Amino acid sequence: MKKKLLILAAALTIAGQSFAQLKLWQKGVVTDEFIYEKAPYPECHASTIAETPTGFVASWFGGTKERNPDVCIWVSRLVNGKWTEAINVANGIQNDTLRYPTWNPVLYQIPGGDLLLFYKIGPSPSTWKGFMRSSKDGGITWSEQKALPPGFLGPIKNKPVLLKDGVTLMSPSSTEGNGWQVHFEATKDWGKTWTMIGPINPPKDSVNAIQPSILFHKDGSLQILARSLNRAVLTSWSKDKGKTWSPLTKTSLPNNNSGTDAVTLQDGRQLLVYNHVLPPGKLTKGARTPLNVAISNDGVKWYAAAILEDSPISQYSYPSVIQAKDGKVHIVYTWRRLRIKHVVIDLSKVQLKEIKDGVWPAMTGYTAPVVKDGNTKEL
């Protein structure tokens, strides 16, 4: 009995320390909410978020289980501080006897134009096809479904970006049928016509990446950060506006074979949302918890910024991140496959601590970060 009590006391102490650390790492979190409490389906995944002229819109796929034919694309809007009941905007019905699941919606708001919704339909990631719809009223109503050209998938998980020319919308994409390969799909007319760049890594290479995010740097270069089978977040760089890319290499950050997302902040820094988890041993896949936020001045050296979730129960995964016009960072992600979580971070309240040797640092107190000319000074 005494031994059991000691074990229980130790467990409670560890849990208390973990909870205390989580609170310290959430100083910048100003909103932490579920987009819905109940839904007409048991599971959900792969959410995305965009800011429209009339407010925020989120989307995800939901059904009995990922890969099941009844999985559909759902959309909700943030109106007067509350998320609306989600509407079903796309399904995989092919005919009276054949139905496929839908996958990985991605939202993009055209500056001064329509809201675009990209998604996939098909029995698996190696065989799915790309589709899109558009909305002229911030996600209330949607156009008819449009198939992307054969061979084009659209943004595979993370948002497309508008290049500095103000014309080219570049979608970060990837395939899984012949090994994990990253490529890009560009359009200069908002999805009417497309061109392809890549793949940037050879098929069945020793470096395997999918689901990249595109970042901008002050010198004009582009960078991607991607999910991998190599136990690390992978990166590649372009010095010619995305026409050619350097070989994929490992960053100092771990990856658990789960999706990440990143965004270039208004001050020029880079922000990444990911599971800071190194799989055990030589495994390529690890737990999808905790869910972390890191910030970098240069895309190379990273600082711990926040822990959104750290429970050992279930998973917290597949984040989507944007920075709103008011400067706040909005993140949506899968919460235990049961609901979609929405978190807002006020960057002025975030403390940054350098991540050394890939190890997430301990938080010992709170000091406001010092940001000058878009660069974070070490604390």
**pLDDT for residue 7:** 36
Amino acid of residue 250: K
Whole-angstrom distance, CA of residue 29 vs CA of residue 346 = 6
44 near 339, Cβ under 8 Å?
A: yes
Successive 10-residue mean pLDDT values, the chain, 379 residues: 42 44 91 98 98 98 98 98 98 98 98 98 97 98 98 98 97 95 98 97 92 98 98 98 97 98 98 97 96 98 98 97 98 98 97 96 62 55
Total structural domains in the chain? Answer: 1
Whole-angstrom distance, CA of residue 232 vs CA of residue 149 = 33
Q: For residue 79, tell me if it sits in a domain.
A: yes
**pLDDT for residue 368:** 44
In which domain, by residue range, is 50 found? 29-147
Q: What is the CATH number of the domain that holds 69?
A: 2.120.10.10
- How does pLDDT run across 71-127, given as a tens digit for each residue? 999 999 999 999 999 999 999 999 999 999 999 999 999 999 999 999 999 999 999
Q: For residue 127, tell me if it sits in a domain.
A: yes
- Both tokens of 163, joined, read 């290049």
The DSSP symbol for 269 reads: -
What length does the chain have?
379
Close Cβ partners of 282 (under 8 Å, ≥ 6 residues apart): none
Close Cβ partners of 112 (under 8 Å, ≥ 6 residues apart): none
- Both tokens of 205, joined, read 């290479």
**pLDDT for residue 37:** 97
- How does pLDDT run across 333-369, given as a tens digit for each residue? 999 999 999 999 999 999 999 999 999 999 775 444 4
Classify 140 as helix, strand or coil. coil
Which H or E run contains 19? helix 2-24
Instruction: Count Cβ atoms below 10 Å from residue 277 Cβ, excluding itself.
Output: 21
**pLDDT for residue 373:** 57
Whole-angstrom distance, CA of residue 95 vs CA of residue 187 = 30
186 near 170, Cβ under 8 Å?
A: yes
Amino acid of residue 308: L
**pLDDT for residue 375:** 63
Q: For residue 188, tell me if it sits in a domain.
A: no
> Phi and psi of 147, rounded to 5°?
-80, 135
Close Cβ partners of 365 (under 8 Å, ≥ 6 residues apart): 24
Q: For residue 265, tell me if it sits in a domain.
A: no
Q: For residue 91, tell me if it sits in a domain.
A: yes
Q: For residue 167, tell me if it sits in a domain.
A: no
- Both tokens of 180, joined, read 């994990």
**pLDDT for residue 374:** 58
Q: For residue 211, tell me if it sits in a domain.
A: no
**pLDDT for residue 195:** 98
Q: For residue 170, tell me if it sits in a domain.
A: no
